[in-house]
A and B are shown apart, each in its own frame.
Chain A
Protein backbone atom coordinates (compact mmCIF):
# COMPACT_ATOMS: atom_id res chain seq x y z
CA UNK A 1 0.00 0.00 0.00
CA UNK A 2 2.93 2.35 0.40
CA UNK A 3 3.43 5.11 2.96
CA UNK A 4 1.88 7.91 0.90
CA UNK A 5 -0.86 5.63 -0.32
CA UNK A 6 -1.95 5.33 -3.93
CA UNK A 7 -5.54 4.96 -2.77
CA UNK A 8 -6.18 8.55 -3.81
CA UNK A 9 -5.46 7.64 -7.45
CA UNK A 10 -7.32 4.35 -7.21
CA UNK A 11 -10.46 6.18 -6.09
CA UNK A 12 -10.15 9.01 -8.60
CA UNK A 13 -9.82 6.47 -11.40
CA UNK A 14 -12.79 4.50 -9.98
CA UNK A 15 -15.01 7.56 -10.16
CA UNK A 16 -13.61 8.53 -13.58
CA UNK A 17 -14.09 5.06 -15.10
CA UNK A 18 -17.56 4.99 -13.54
CA UNK A 19 -18.46 8.15 -15.44
CA UNK A 20 -16.81 6.80 -18.58
CA UNK A 21 -18.87 3.62 -18.28
CA UNK A 22 -22.11 5.57 -18.50
CA UNK A 23 -21.07 6.77 -21.94
CA UNK A 24 -19.32 3.62 -23.14
CA UNK A 25 -22.02 1.18 -22.06
CA UNK A 26 -24.58 3.37 -23.85
CA UNK A 27 -22.46 3.29 -26.99
CA UNK A 28 -22.11 -0.46 -26.58
CA UNK A 29 -25.90 -0.72 -26.62
CA UNK A 30 -26.00 1.44 -29.72
CA UNK A 31 -23.46 -0.82 -31.41
CA UNK A 32 -25.32 -3.97 -30.43
CA UNK A 33 -28.79 -2.89 -31.44
CA UNK A 34 -28.93 0.25 -33.53
CA UNK A 35 -25.79 1.13 -35.49
CA UNK A 36 -26.14 -0.10 -39.10
CA UNK A 37 -28.40 -3.08 -38.48
CA UNK A 38 -27.12 -4.08 -35.04
CA UNK A 39 -24.91 -7.07 -34.35
CA UNK A 40 -27.00 -9.98 -35.52
CA UNK A 41 -24.30 -12.25 -36.89
CA UNK A 42 -20.64 -12.99 -36.34
CA UNK A 43 -19.97 -11.19 -39.62
CA UNK A 44 -21.53 -7.99 -38.17
CA UNK A 45 -19.35 -8.28 -35.08
CA UNK A 46 -16.24 -8.82 -37.20
CA UNK A 47 -17.12 -5.76 -39.28
CA UNK A 48 -17.56 -3.67 -36.14
CA UNK A 49 -14.15 -4.62 -34.77
CA UNK A 50 -12.62 -3.94 -38.18
CA UNK A 51 -13.73 -0.33 -37.85
CA UNK A 52 -10.93 1.49 -35.98
CA UNK A 53 -13.30 3.94 -34.24
CA UNK A 54 -15.53 1.22 -32.82
CA UNK A 55 -12.43 -0.85 -32.02
CA UNK A 56 -11.04 1.98 -29.87
CA UNK A 57 -14.42 2.49 -28.14
CA UNK A 58 -14.81 -1.22 -27.43
CA UNK A 59 -11.26 -1.44 -26.06
CA UNK A 60 -11.90 1.64 -23.92
CA UNK A 61 -14.98 -0.12 -22.55
CA UNK A 62 -12.88 -3.22 -21.95
CA UNK A 63 -10.21 -1.35 -19.96
CA UNK A 64 -12.71 0.80 -18.07
CA UNK A 65 -14.89 -2.11 -16.99
CA UNK A 66 -11.91 -4.28 -16.00
CA UNK A 67 -10.38 -1.53 -13.88
CA UNK A 68 -13.68 -0.39 -12.41
CA UNK A 69 -14.92 -3.88 -11.65
CA UNK A 70 -11.69 -5.20 -10.13
CA UNK A 71 -10.97 -2.05 -8.12
CA UNK A 72 -14.54 -2.20 -6.86
CA UNK A 73 -13.95 -5.82 -5.89
CA UNK A 74 -10.77 -4.72 -4.13
CA UNK A 75 -12.72 -2.19 -2.07
CA UNK A 76 -15.17 -4.88 -1.04
CA UNK A 77 -12.52 -7.50 -0.19
CA UNK A 78 -10.54 -4.95 1.88
CA UNK A 79 -13.55 -4.79 4.21
CA UNK A 80 -12.44 -8.15 5.54
CA UNK A 81 -9.70 -6.22 7.35
CA UNK A 82 -6.61 -7.64 5.64
CA UNK A 83 -3.11 -7.25 7.03
CA UNK A 84 -0.81 -4.89 5.07
CA UNK A 85 0.91 -7.94 3.56
CA UNK A 86 -2.45 -9.48 2.69
CA UNK A 87 -3.59 -6.25 1.07
CA UNK A 88 -0.40 -6.15 -1.00
CA UNK A 89 -0.94 -9.75 -2.17
CA UNK A 90 -4.53 -8.89 -3.06
CA UNK A 91 -3.36 -5.92 -5.13
CA UNK A 92 -0.92 -8.07 -7.08
CA UNK A 93 -3.44 -10.84 -7.63
CA UNK A 94 -6.08 -8.41 -8.92
CA UNK A 95 -3.49 -6.64 -11.07
CA UNK A 96 -2.45 -9.97 -12.63
CA UNK A 97 -6.08 -10.96 -13.18
CA UNK A 98 -6.83 -7.60 -14.79
CA UNK A 99 -3.78 -7.77 -17.02
CA UNK A 100 -4.76 -11.28 -18.16
CA UNK A 101 -8.33 -10.18 -18.87
CA UNK A 102 -7.14 -7.13 -20.80
CA UNK A 103 -4.66 -9.16 -22.83
CA UNK A 104 -7.30 -11.74 -23.70
CA UNK A 105 -9.87 -9.07 -24.62
CA UNK A 106 -7.44 -7.10 -26.76
CA UNK A 107 -6.27 -10.28 -28.52
CA UNK A 108 -9.86 -11.30 -29.19
CA UNK A 109 -10.86 -7.87 -30.49
CA UNK A 110 -7.86 -7.63 -32.77
CA UNK A 111 -8.24 -11.14 -34.17
CA UNK A 112 -12.00 -10.82 -34.77
CA UNK A 113 -11.43 -7.48 -36.44
CA UNK A 114 -8.83 -9.01 -38.75
CA UNK A 115 -6.03 -6.76 -37.49
CA UNK A 116 -3.63 -9.65 -36.95
CA UNK A 117 -3.28 -10.52 -40.61
CA UNK A 118 -4.30 -14.03 -41.60
CA UNK A 119 -7.94 -14.33 -40.46
Chain B
Protein backbone atom coordinates (compact mmCIF):
# COMPACT_ATOMS: atom_id res chain seq x y z
CA UNK B 1 0.00 0.00 0.00
CA UNK B 2 1.10 3.51 -0.73
CA UNK B 3 2.44 5.72 2.00
CA UNK B 4 0.92 9.14 2.59
CA UNK B 5 2.42 12.15 4.30
CA UNK B 6 -0.51 13.09 6.45
CA UNK B 7 -0.98 16.39 8.24
CA UNK B 8 -3.52 16.01 11.03
CA UNK B 9 -5.14 19.03 12.64
CA UNK B 10 -6.79 18.01 15.88
CA UNK B 11 -9.13 20.14 17.95
CA UNK B 12 -7.72 19.63 21.41
CA UNK B 13 -8.99 20.86 24.67
CA UNK B 14 -9.92 20.01 28.21
CA UNK B 15 -13.42 18.99 29.21
CA UNK B 16 -15.81 21.70 28.09
CA UNK B 17 -19.45 22.22 27.32
CA UNK B 18 -18.99 22.59 23.58
CA UNK B 19 -16.38 22.31 20.88
CA UNK B 20 -15.98 26.08 20.89
CA UNK B 21 -13.24 26.31 23.51
CA UNK B 22 -10.41 24.18 22.17
CA UNK B 23 -7.33 24.94 20.12
CA UNK B 24 -6.05 23.17 17.04
CA UNK B 25 -2.77 21.25 17.18
CA UNK B 26 -1.12 20.11 13.99
CA UNK B 27 0.90 16.91 13.60
CA UNK B 28 2.53 15.41 10.55
CA UNK B 29 3.24 11.71 10.14
CA UNK B 30 3.83 9.07 7.50
CA UNK B 31 0.84 6.79 7.31
CA UNK B 32 0.00 3.76 5.22
CA UNK B 33 -2.95 4.33 2.90
CA UNK B 34 -4.63 1.27 4.41
CA UNK B 35 -4.54 2.63 7.97
CA UNK B 36 -7.79 3.59 9.59
CA UNK B 37 -8.03 6.85 11.51
CA UNK B 38 -7.76 4.79 14.69
CA UNK B 39 -4.32 3.66 13.52
CA UNK B 40 -3.43 7.29 12.91
CA UNK B 41 -4.63 8.32 16.39
CA UNK B 42 -2.69 5.45 17.94
CA UNK B 43 0.45 6.55 16.09
CA UNK B 44 -0.04 10.09 17.38
CA UNK B 45 -0.50 8.75 20.89
CA UNK B 46 2.64 6.63 20.57
CA UNK B 47 4.53 9.64 19.24
CA UNK B 48 3.94 13.38 19.53
CA UNK B 49 0.67 13.41 21.49
CA UNK B 50 0.81 10.83 24.28
CA UNK B 51 -2.05 12.50 26.16
CA UNK B 52 -4.44 12.56 23.19
CA UNK B 53 -7.97 11.51 24.21
CA UNK B 54 -10.32 9.62 21.93
CA UNK B 55 -12.70 6.68 22.24
CA UNK B 56 -12.73 3.35 20.48
CA UNK B 57 -13.30 -0.29 21.14
CA UNK B 58 -14.18 -2.75 18.40
CA UNK B 59 -12.28 -1.41 15.33
CA UNK B 60 -15.04 -2.77 13.07
CA UNK B 61 -18.07 -0.49 13.11
CA UNK B 62 -19.95 -2.34 15.82
CA UNK B 63 -19.42 -0.65 19.15
CA UNK B 64 -20.30 2.88 18.13
CA UNK B 65 -17.68 4.60 20.26
CA UNK B 66 -15.29 6.08 17.70
CA UNK B 67 -17.47 8.62 15.84
CA UNK B 68 -15.91 12.03 15.33
CA UNK B 69 -15.91 14.79 12.74
CA UNK B 70 -13.47 14.42 9.86
CA UNK B 71 -13.20 17.64 7.86
CA UNK B 72 -16.56 18.61 9.35
CA UNK B 73 -18.27 15.36 8.42
CA UNK B 74 -19.44 12.75 10.93
CA UNK B 75 -17.46 9.55 10.45
CA UNK B 76 -16.52 6.39 12.30
CA UNK B 77 -12.75 6.60 12.80
CA UNK B 78 -12.49 2.84 12.34
CA UNK B 79 -14.15 2.91 8.90
CA UNK B 80 -12.24 5.92 7.60
CA UNK B 81 -8.90 5.21 5.95
CA UNK B 82 -5.91 7.35 5.18
CA UNK B 83 -6.21 6.43 1.50
CA UNK B 84 -9.80 7.58 1.49
CA UNK B 85 -8.79 10.92 2.99
CA UNK B 86 -5.95 11.35 0.49
CA UNK B 87 -8.29 10.53 -2.38
CA UNK B 88 -10.92 12.99 -1.10
CA UNK B 89 -13.53 10.24 -0.88
CA UNK B 90 -14.97 10.88 2.58
CA UNK B 91 -18.46 10.51 1.12
CA UNK B 92 -17.93 6.74 0.89
CA UNK B 93 -18.94 4.70 3.90
CA UNK B 94 -15.49 3.14 4.26
CA UNK B 95 -12.10 3.13 2.55
CA UNK B 96 -11.25 -0.40 3.64
CA UNK B 97 -10.65 -2.85 0.82
CA UNK B 98 -10.28 -0.11 -1.77
CA UNK B 99 -7.26 0.85 -3.81
CA UNK B 100 -7.40 4.56 -4.53
CA UNK B 101 -4.31 4.41 -6.80
CA UNK B 102 -2.54 7.20 -4.96
CA UNK B 103 0.58 8.62 -6.57
CA UNK B 104 3.98 8.06 -4.94
CA UNK B 105 4.76 10.60 -2.26
CA UNK B 106 1.10 11.55 -1.83
CA UNK B 107 0.30 14.16 0.78
CA UNK B 108 -2.96 14.89 2.51
CA UNK B 109 -4.32 17.06 5.30
CA UNK B 110 -7.26 16.36 7.55
CA UNK B 111 -9.01 18.09 10.44
CA UNK B 112 -10.39 16.03 13.33
CA UNK B 113 -12.93 17.39 15.79
CA UNK B 114 -15.16 15.79 18.41
CA UNK B 115 -18.86 15.26 17.71
CA UNK B 116 -20.96 18.41 17.85
CA UNK B 117 -23.65 18.98 20.46
CA UNK B 118 -22.01 16.61 22.95
CA UNK B 119 -20.14 17.69 26.05
CA UNK B 120 -16.48 16.81 25.54
CA UNK B 121 -14.54 14.69 28.03
CA UNK B 122 -11.31 15.86 26.43
CA UNK B 123 -9.94 16.23 22.89
CA UNK B 124 -11.93 13.94 20.58
CA UNK B 125 -13.77 12.02 23.30
CA UNK B 126 -17.45 12.97 23.57
CA UNK B 127 -19.49 12.44 26.71
CA UNK B 128 -22.44 10.16 25.87
CA UNK B 129 -24.24 10.34 29.23
CA UNK B 130 -27.02 12.71 28.08
CA UNK B 131 -27.39 10.84 24.78
CA UNK B 132 -27.82 7.53 26.60
CA UNK B 133 -30.36 9.22 28.86
CA UNK B 134 -32.40 10.11 25.77
CA UNK B 135 -32.13 6.51 24.56
CA UNK B 136 -33.43 5.32 27.94
CA UNK B 137 -36.38 7.71 27.63
CA UNK B 138 -37.60 5.77 24.58
CA UNK B 139 -36.74 2.35 26.09
CA UNK B 140 -34.22 1.70 23.34
CA UNK B 141 -32.80 -1.41 24.98
CA UNK B 142 -34.64 -4.41 23.64
CA UNK B 143 -34.34 -7.85 25.07
CA UNK B 144 -32.77 -10.13 22.46
CA UNK B 145 -35.44 -11.41 20.16
CA UNK B 146 -36.14 -15.12 20.18
CA UNK B 147 -38.13 -15.14 16.96
CA UNK B 148 -36.66 -14.89 13.46
CA UNK B 149 -38.28 -11.61 12.58
CA UNK B 150 -36.32 -9.18 14.70
CA UNK B 151 -33.03 -9.40 12.83
CA UNK B 152 -33.23 -6.04 11.12
CA UNK B 153 -33.98 -4.05 14.24
CA UNK B 154 -30.42 -3.81 15.45
CA UNK B 155 -28.68 -1.60 12.91
CA UNK B 156 -28.15 1.41 15.19
CA UNK B 157 -24.85 1.21 17.03
CA UNK B 158 -25.62 4.38 19.03
CA UNK B 159 -22.54 6.11 17.71
CA UNK B 160 -24.02 9.61 17.98
CA UNK B 161 -23.08 10.66 14.44
CA UNK B 162 -26.67 11.63 13.63
CA UNK B 163 -26.95 13.71 16.81
CA UNK B 164 -23.83 15.61 15.80
CA UNK B 165 -25.04 16.14 12.23
CA UNK B 166 -28.52 17.35 13.20
CA UNK B 167 -28.85 21.16 13.17
CA UNK B 168 -31.91 21.02 15.41
CA UNK B 169 -30.02 19.15 18.14
CA UNK B 170 -27.33 21.81 17.78
CA UNK B 171 -29.76 24.64 18.50
CA UNK B 172 -32.00 22.88 21.02
CA UNK B 173 -30.02 20.43 23.14
CA UNK B 174 -33.22 19.13 24.73
CA UNK B 175 -34.49 17.90 21.36
CA UNK B 176 -34.65 14.11 21.59
CA UNK B 177 -32.84 13.77 18.27
CA UNK B 178 -32.63 11.28 15.39
CA UNK B 179 -31.28 8.07 16.98
CA UNK B 180 -33.58 8.09 20.02
CA UNK B 181 -36.59 8.75 17.79
CA UNK B 182 -35.53 6.07 15.31
CA UNK B 183 -35.14 3.66 18.22
CA UNK B 184 -38.54 4.65 19.57
CA UNK B 185 -40.01 3.52 16.26
CA UNK B 186 -37.91 0.37 16.33
CA UNK B 187 -39.32 -0.38 19.78
CA UNK B 188 -42.87 0.11 18.51
CA UNK B 189 -42.20 -2.26 15.60
CA UNK B 190 -40.46 -4.87 17.75
CA UNK B 191 -42.39 -8.12 17.42
CA UNK B 192 -41.16 -9.33 20.81
CA UNK B 193 -42.98 -6.40 22.45
CA UNK B 194 -40.23 -5.48 24.87
CA UNK B 195 -40.66 -2.31 26.89
CA UNK B 196 -43.50 0.18 27.16
CA UNK B 197 -44.97 1.49 23.91
CA UNK B 198 -46.89 4.09 25.91
CA UNK B 199 -43.63 5.53 27.24
CA UNK B 200 -42.09 5.56 23.76
CA UNK B 201 -45.08 7.37 22.28
CA UNK B 202 -45.20 9.84 25.16
CA UNK B 203 -41.49 10.61 24.78
CA UNK B 204 -41.86 11.12 21.02
CA UNK B 205 -45.01 13.25 21.32
CA UNK B 206 -43.65 15.96 23.61
CA UNK B 207 -42.52 19.52 22.86
CA UNK B 208 -38.90 18.45 22.36
CA UNK B 209 -39.88 15.28 20.54
CA UNK B 210 -40.63 14.23 17.00
CA UNK B 211 -42.40 17.47 16.01
CA UNK B 212 -39.22 19.50 16.15
CA UNK B 213 -37.67 17.87 13.08
CA UNK B 214 -37.30 20.10 9.98
CA UNK B 215 -36.48 17.28 7.56
CA UNK B 216 -32.91 18.29 6.90
CA UNK B 217 -31.98 14.59 6.63
CA UNK B 218 -28.40 15.21 7.73
CA UNK B 219 -28.93 12.35 10.19
CA UNK B 220 -29.61 9.89 7.41
CA UNK B 221 -26.62 11.15 5.45
CA UNK B 222 -24.34 10.83 8.48
CA UNK B 223 -25.42 7.38 9.68
CA UNK B 224 -22.70 4.75 9.10
CA UNK B 225 -25.15 1.92 9.77
CA UNK B 226 -27.89 2.61 7.23
CA UNK B 227 -30.52 3.31 9.89
CA UNK B 228 -32.19 6.19 8.01
CA UNK B 229 -33.38 8.03 11.12
CA UNK B 230 -35.04 10.74 9.01
CA UNK B 231 -37.42 8.28 7.44
CA UNK B 232 -38.07 6.63 10.80
CA UNK B 233 -39.02 10.01 12.20
CA UNK B 234 -41.59 10.62 9.49
CA UNK B 235 -43.03 7.15 10.07
CA UNK B 236 -43.25 7.92 13.78
CA UNK B 237 -45.17 11.12 13.01
CA UNK B 238 -47.56 9.23 10.79
CA UNK B 239 -48.15 6.73 13.60
CA UNK B 240 -48.88 9.45 16.12
CA UNK B 241 -51.28 11.12 13.69
CA UNK B 242 -53.11 7.86 12.97
CA UNK B 243 -53.34 7.20 16.69
CA UNK B 244 -54.82 10.59 17.49
CA UNK B 245 -57.28 10.26 14.64
CA UNK B 246 -58.29 6.93 16.14
CA UNK B 247 -57.26 4.90 13.09
CA UNK B 248 -56.35 1.32 13.74
CA UNK B 249 -52.67 0.49 13.48
CA UNK B 250 -51.75 -2.50 11.38
CA UNK B 251 -52.93 -2.12 7.83
CA UNK B 252 -49.61 -0.48 6.92
CA UNK B 253 -47.15 -2.69 8.75
Residues of A1-44 whose CB lies within 8 A of B? 1, 4-5, 7-12
Chain B residues in 8 Å Cβ range of A94: none
The listed residue (B172, B211, B244) touching A81 by CB distance below 8 A is: B172
CB of B207 within 8 A of CB of A87, answer: yes
> Total contacts A to B, CB within 8 angstroms?
40
Is A79 located at the chain interface by the 8 A CB criterion? yes
> Does B171 lie within 8 Å of A5, measured CB to CB?
no
Whether a CB of chain A sits under 8 angstroms from the CB of B214 is yes
Number of interface residues of B (CB under 8 A): 16
Nearest CB of chain A from residue B242's CB, rounded to whole Å: 10
A79 x B244 contact (CB < 8 A): no
| Cβ contact within 8 Å between B211 and A5 | yes
Instruction: Tell me the dominant secondary structure on chain A's binding face.
Output: helix
CA of A87 to CA of B168, assembled, Å: 16
Inter-chain contacts of B102 with A (CB < 8 A)? none
B144-200 at interface with A (beta carbon < 8 Å): 168, 171-174
Chain B contacts to A: CB under 8 angstroms: 168, 171-174, 205-207, 209, 211-212, 214, 237, 240-241, 244
Chain A contacts to B: CB under 8 angstroms: 1, 4-5, 7-12, 75, 78-81, 84, 87
